A and B are shown apart, each in its own frame.
Chain A
């Protein structure tokens, strides 16, 4: 068996946002949204990125695609360092890496027809296409995501949330990218519609050989769709492993409590489950705790956690964890 090839390599990526105050807009403090994350996304896999709101998972996705300029660190796609690219080079790179957004109501221009929305990337990057070819391509894309090509002249407001998300997926696929960041693609959808969209994403992955970074707070759905899963807390990755390992044998106390907090749709199991209920709230990323940043809520905290920050270490082959209890 050959080792899987890393399509996207993220190394010590940091993104800090300045907070400006006072009449001179002086930079007073920084929000450390992403504070040194390192991981690879292998070719044709789905890497799930989970965490609670404010943990930096979306900022990580945006920074990988260079929608934000990283404060430090590198992101390379297929061997090319994206973090250093500028101007035309960066623009050309964008064809290969695409994004599916959370809110299908805000991410489609209400004044464009479905056909215009899906054709927009083609106008930008495939200007040599004739309008006839373009229209055929758009129809093919709509069929691919399970929409009727007859919808081509309709406007986004005529569609339901699930259908709009399909339009967004068709747009993301227009340039035949290899890597797609899916940023909470089902969070805004009703329960009965979520499964439709997730099934579609899985089918497209198989059919087109896509690689996904699937950002979500829904741990059940991430278990279903991912091959490997990374858990973020306050701007850092606390654990990353094969899906089976992470869900069966989580090592980090945060992962353990997060998994135990997710309700399961089975009353009998619910009654017998041991829940680890965390105390308090996530601290502010402006002023994260010294040492391990989980030390304010960790049920297993001890002296060392307050003075020394745990590094992300390989506890077992392919299973990385950042905790002093796991050596």
Chain B
């Protein structure tokens, strides 16, 4: 598959009253056409910021993109003018967010909000846009679309609102759909519906998807490749099977062993990752995970390890220690 997006050395900082928050510290990855990439991390790991930076969706200030480039279909997204990026957003790249209530306009009818992008990017008339909106609502599984199109967001449930967001996102046949924790606010049975919907739409349209989440289970069932982030750094990147079978970063390993399984009994105590995530205004000089790591050696405290290929092709980890060979310290 040809490459669709290439991010290189992206760095984003926030100026706050408490000092400079280093949210994203130089991350690089690429995404092929039709690929589903999962980005996993806890709150404050920079998983959302790293993607919102690409689309210039962060208010500057307080955010500052300090470096890097993001080539999308041959053009650098970070260098685009406001007008240029507007013609990409909602058209070639669509975004759906965690909370569909705050990302929909409460005083506009559903049909009007979906139609907006159609009129703007595809030049449809009002009538055509309305017709197409009804088709899209049908497509994402909203019953009675003819009536729903004239309703307001508060008249829909959370799951329905997320379907509306997806319909909006898909309206211009994007090449890339960015989903920023789209199921975190939803119940598990509704989450299953939304994941199934996105998966079938992806197969049908061949678009690429970046799915940001804190839930390793969701990524396991959906993604082709996975990035694990910790305090603004990529700590591991691997094809999904490799990551879960053969994790090479102590943080990834810690996360995987701290999760109980719904299908299997966990006999022993959960293997909790000790301590807490670092303060992003005062990152330690070495590896950011070192204070919580079971494999820490002296070198970890002084130098931050780069992301390097380990063993297999396409499997990268940022760790000085080979956790397969080493004993826990």
Residue numbers of A with Cβ under 8 A of B are 52-53, 160, 162-163, 190-196, 198-199, 202, 217, 219-221, 223-224, 244, 247, 257-271, 273, 275, 277-278, 281-282
Task: Report the bound CA distance from A55 to B98 in whole Å.
Answer: 22
Question: Is B157 close to A, CB under 8 A?
Answer: yes
B44: nearest chain-A partner, CB-CB: A190
Verify A247–B192 contact, CB threshold 8 A.
no
Cα–Cα distance between A269 and B218 once the two chains are bound (Å):
12
Judging by beta carbons under 8 Å apart, are B214 and A267 in contact? no
Q: Separation in Å of the A57 CB from the closest CB of chain B?
A: 12
Given A258-B189, A261-B191, A195-B271 contact (CB < 8 Å): yes
Judging by beta carbons under 8 Å apart, are A270 and B188 in contact?
Answer: no
B276:A261 contact, CB within 8 angstroms: no
With contacts A259-B262, A275-B196 taken as known, whether A267 is within 8 angstroms of B221 at the C-beta atoms is yes
Interchain Cβ contacts under 8 Å between A and B, 12 examples: A191-B259, A195-B259, A244-B265, A247-B263, A258-B188, A261-B188, A264-B217, A266-B244, A267-B240, A270-B217, A281-B159, A281-B190
Bound: A264/B260 CA distance, A: 9
Chain B interface residues toward A at CB < 8 A: 42-43, 157, 159-160, 187-193, 195-196, 214-218, 220-221, 240-241, 244, 254-256, 258-263, 265-266, 269-274, 276-277
Chain A: minimal CB distance from B113 (Å): 21
A247 touches B262 (CB 8 A): yes
SS class of chain A's interface: helix, strand, loop or mixed? helix
**Which of A244, A260, A263, A265 is in CB contact (< 8 Å) with B256?**
A265
Q: Please determine whether A265 and B261 come into contact, CB atoms closer than 8 angstroms.
A: yes
Q: Is the CB of A265 within 8 A of B241?
A: no
14 more CB-based (< 8 A) A-B contacts, given A195-B271, A223-B262, A270-B220: A191-B258, A192-B272, A192-B273, A194-B258, A195-B258, A223-B266, A261-B191, A261-B192, A262-B188, A264-B261, A265-B261, A266-B261, A277-B192, A277-B193
Query: How distant is the Cα of A223 from the Cα of B266 in the complex, in angstroms?
Result: 9
Would A190 and B220 count as touching, CB distance under 8 A? no
* Contact yes or no, B42 A262, CB < 8 A: no
Q: Report whether A191 and B159 are in contact in the complex, using a CB–CB cutoff of 8 Å.
A: no
Nearest CB of chain A from residue B259's CB, rounded to whole Å: 6
User: CB < 8 Å: which of A52, A190, A244 contacts B189?
Assistant: A52
How far, in angstroms, from A141 to B269 measured CA to CA in the complex?
22
Establish whether residues A190 and B188, one from each chain, have CB atoms under 8 Å apart when the complex forms. Answer: no
Q: Name A262's contact: one of B160, B240, B258, B262 (CB within 8 Å).
A: B262
Q: Which of B188, B217, B221 contacts A52 (CB 8 A)?
A: B188
Cα separation A268 to B261 with both chains bound (whole Å): 14
Known: A247-B262, A265-B261. A219 touches B273 (CB 8 A): no
**Least distance between A105 CB and chain B CB atoms (Å):** 13
Task: Give complex CA distance A265, B228 in Å.
Answer: 14
Query: In the complex the two chains form, what is the Cα distance from A219 to B259 in whole Å?
Result: 11
User: B214 contacts A196, CB within 8 Å?
Assistant: no
Q: Which residue of A lies closest to B217 (CB)?
A: A263
| Residue numbers in B under 8 Å from A191 (CB-CB) | 42, 214-216, 255, 258-259
CB nearest neighbor in B for A270: B221
With both chains docked as a complex, state the minimum distance between the C-beta of B73 and any C-beta of chain A, in angstroms.
29
Which residue of chain B lies nearest to A259 when distances are taken between CB atoms in the complex?
B262
Contacts of A160 in B (CB 8 A): 276
From B188, B214, B215, name the one whose CB has the most chain A CB atoms within 10 angstroms.
B188
Question: Whose C-beta in chain B lies nearest to the C-beta of A50?
Answer: B188
Closest chain-A Cβ to B154's Cβ sits at a distance in Å of 14
Chain A, Cβ-Cβ closest to B243: A267
**Set of chain B residues within 8 Å of A195, measured between Cβ atoms:** 258-259, 270-273
A262 touches B217 (CB 8 A): yes
Given contacts A163-B276, A220-B260, A265-B256, contact A192 B189 (CB under 8 A): no
Q: Which of A162, A191, A244, A262 has the most CB of B within 10 A?
A: A191
Q: Which residues of A contact B214 (CB under 8 A)?
A: 190-191
- Are B255 and A269 in contact, CB atoms less than 8 angstroms apart? no
